Structure 1
Amino acid sequence: MLNNLYLVVFDAIFLIIAILIVYMYKRENETWEITGVKDVYRGTILGILFSSIMSVGGINIKLTFGMLLLIPLTLLMTSVNPKWGCYSYVIPFTYFLGEVLETFGYNITWFNLPYNQFIVLIGFLHLIEGILVMRYGSENTKEVPIFNGKNITKGYMMKKFWPIPLIIFSTDAMPIYAILGYMDIGYDPQNKTGQMGKIILVYGLFIILLGILTQKQLMPLNLALLIMPIGHELMFLVNYIPFRKKVKL
């Protein structure tokens, strides 16, 4: 783990990501730079820790040229709806797009990705996000106006970013990173992030279970990939309902 930490910290791409995150915090508030540095540290440590656990568990993804297909697909889906940039949507979309093309006789090898392992990876990423949101999601909140249906009241916006090293990818070229982002609004930031963090964590555990079931061939891959975005939408629904009730009051 220490060797992986050394490789990440002294990687130029990691430094660029770290500077970018600190800059985004500073742009929100001049006094938030230290929190930005802390979140870089927090995400890095948890990313390496959970990546090491996955590696020990036999989850190692060989980086292939076909995986570059995920970059434009992610950008495309993000441009349509930012939440669709999450791999809970991108990976199922990629799989079913490949299946549709194959139905019409276009067997494109780029779509032959290790979907079982990606499911587990997505679960672990949400596990990490849930922990970070529960512990640190309510830091540096920003007052924002919220319309409650009758009047404009004072609420709070939570916005956080964490870089996550993905050392489970087998590559000699460079480490691979993900950036987890969390943004929400509410009246009680600490309570809101505590509840939402638990929801994200439970979702992550559920997705890991789906990945294990598909690897053991106890569940069809297409069913697991269909459940994944549906579950993600349910997270938004569960997060929205209490806020909606609060607004009606």
Structure 2
Amino acid sequence: MSILINTLRAIAYTLVNPNSVLILIMLAFMLYRQNKNITIMQKMIVGENFDSSLELTISQIVIGIIAGAVSSIILAFLGVAFDENSAIYLIFLISIFFMFIKPRFICFAYSGALLGILSLILELISKIYAGVKINLFGSVIDLANVDILKIDIGSLIVLISVLHFIEGILVIIDGKRGAIPVFTNRGDKIIGGFALRRNWLVPVALFLIINNPINLEYTQNIATPSWWPFLKISPFLNMAKGAAVTLFAYFSIIGYSSVTFTKSKEEKTFSSGIALLLYSIILFVLAQFSYLSYMYKLLLIIFTPVAHEFMINIQNFLEVKRNPKYVSGDNGIMVLEVAPNSPAQEMGIKSGDLLVEVNNKKITSENDILYPSIEGVNYISFKIERGMGKHYEVSYNKMNKEKK
């Protein structure tokens, strides 16, 4: 119970600490700018935005804090810990930096791989040049004792796997929010789809093993139970019995971006989320053998981003090979999205419906829908096809010039 309480306390402290709050405000403003662009695009295409940029941003922060607390509790009970000199916080900074290069590179598979490679290189240098001393800025450094980026690879991979597990859940439950309808050409037809981009501001609390216990301003030393850690994969944890163990939380951004023309928003986010969950489980299992050898650690670090890229490329390949979902034809006009508070929404028309008839007249082009809606009559009816060829009749009798 003490681990649970201290983990939540570390998250809570980060949310109220002035320095952390400043970082939170900066990241929130960055997300707000992104959401502002999303709502502008929605209004340009649909005519209305579904949520305000402020609503999108607040939900990202609130959901992210909850997700951060859950991921931190999982990591704490598993026993994921890092040496105080590991500079593990760099994984969060690097991921944010990568986001500006390309949004999908915000994923921890890439920042974690970079950090892991640097750590292994420094570990190799310390082994090869053991006993060699250099003079750096007036200080004599023994290369055998270089403790910069002293990162345990097993704990690092478990951290990445848990964060991807949480990301998969977030994508399933919230990934479709803020979707933008988009269009492209395939063959001789215009097809519709959705551009999905969602980020969550997540505080993550991690155990740090302090070799020389001191009174730290931001947290307190934690007494760990005898059964801890649940996973005994880290050599650093052997030091925990004779050293101080403390928790410190860092802000990170978990992001998801994708485009689909073959699935609905819900179908796409569900399949992407399941793929992320499977990826996280595979990483978690492989991490348990990180103690085997240096070469295994290296292969594991390389596998992490390569497998992530493979997962994305498989999804992109299936997008190209599958038939588009939102395409109109001789049998009617396909509905890509329904504007909020519109007559179409009040009638119950949904994304994916095929409009077959309007006012008992077969629909062959967009004009067949346009003319009845501007003729000045206050009544309009549609025959729609939904699902496996099922037909429904919907109507609206409050049409006026103010209705879009």
Contact 2:98-2:105 within 8 A present in 1 as well: yes
Question: What is the match of residue 196 of structure 2?
Answer: 158
Q: How does 1:202-213 map to 2 (within 5 A)?
A: 202-213=278-289
CA contact (8 A) 2:14 2:250 kept: no
User: Contact 2:203–2:252 (CA<8 Å) still a contact in 1?
Assistant: yes
- Aligned partner of residue 288 in structure 2, secondary structure: helix
In structure 1, C-alpha distance between the alignment counterparts of 2:322 and 2:109, rounded to whole Å: 29
User: 1:149·1:248 contact (CA, 8 Å) conserved in 2?
Assistant: no
Alignment RMSD:
3.3
* TM-score normalised to structure 1 length: 0.82
Structure 1 residues without counterparts, runs of 5 or longer: none
Matched with 1:33 is: 54
Is contact 2:31-2:57 (8 Å) kept?
yes
Task: Give the aligned partner of residue 15 of structure 2.
Answer: 9
Partner of 1:157: helix, strand, or coil? strand
The aligned counterpart of 1:184 is 258
Query: Are residues 136 and 68 of structure 1, via their aligned partners in 2, closer, same or farther at CA, if it must alter by over 3 Å?
Result: closer
Higher radius of gyration, 1 or 2 = 2
Task: Kindly provide the amino acid, as one letter, of the partner of residue 290 in structure 2.
Answer: T
Higher strand share: 2
- Distance apart, 1:130 and its partner CA: 0.3
Deviations, residues 164-207 of structure 1 (Å, cap 9, x unaligned) = 11111538557311101111111321111110111011111211
Determine if contact 1:91/1:115 at 8 Å carries over to the other structure: no
Letter in 2 for 1:239: Q
Instruction: Describe the SS at the equivalent of 1:159.
Output: strand
Partner of 2:108: 87
Larger relative CO (CA 8 A, sep 6+): 1 or 2? 1
Partner of 1:167: 205
% identity of equivalent residues: 21
Q: How does 1:189-228 map to 2 (within 5 A)?
A: 189-215=265-291, 220-228=296-304
Q: Does 1:114 align with 2:152?
A: yes
Contact 1:87 1:122 in 2 (8 A): yes
Which residue in 1 is equivalent to 2:211? Answer: none
1:131-186 alpha-carbon deviations (Å, 9 max, x no partner): 00011111121112223244442221111010111111538557311101111111
CA distance in 1, matches of 2:57, 2:324: 35
Equivalent in 314, 318, 329 of residue 238 of structure 1: 314
Distance 2:34 2:67 in 1: 21
Take 1:23 and 1:113, find their aligned partners in 2: how far apart are those partners?
34
Cα distance change, pair 35–145 in 1 and its aligned pair in 2 (3 A): same
CA change 1:241–1:65 in 2 (3 A) is closer
Provide the rounded CA distance (Å) in 2 between the counterparts of 1:136 and 1:85: 18
Match of residue 126, structure 1, among 164, 169, 173 = 164
1:48 Cα deviation (Å)? 1.2
User: Deviation at 1:78?
Assistant: 5.8
Letter of the 2:265 counterpart: P
Q: Indicate how the Cα distance of structure 1 residues 14 and 175 shifts in structure 2: closer, same or farther if over 3 A, else same.
A: farther
Of the three residues 59, 68, 77, the one matched with 1:56 is 77
CA gap of 1:65–1:114, structure 2 versus 1, over 3 A, is closer
State the Cα distance separating 1:64 from its structure 2 match: 3.0
How much does 1:20 deviate? 3.2
Report the CA distance between 1:241 and its aligned residue: 2.1
More helix, by proportion: 1
The separation in 2 between residues aligned to 1:214 and 1:125, in whole angstroms, is: 18
2:63 alignment counterpart: 42
Q: Report the number of matched residues.
A: 248
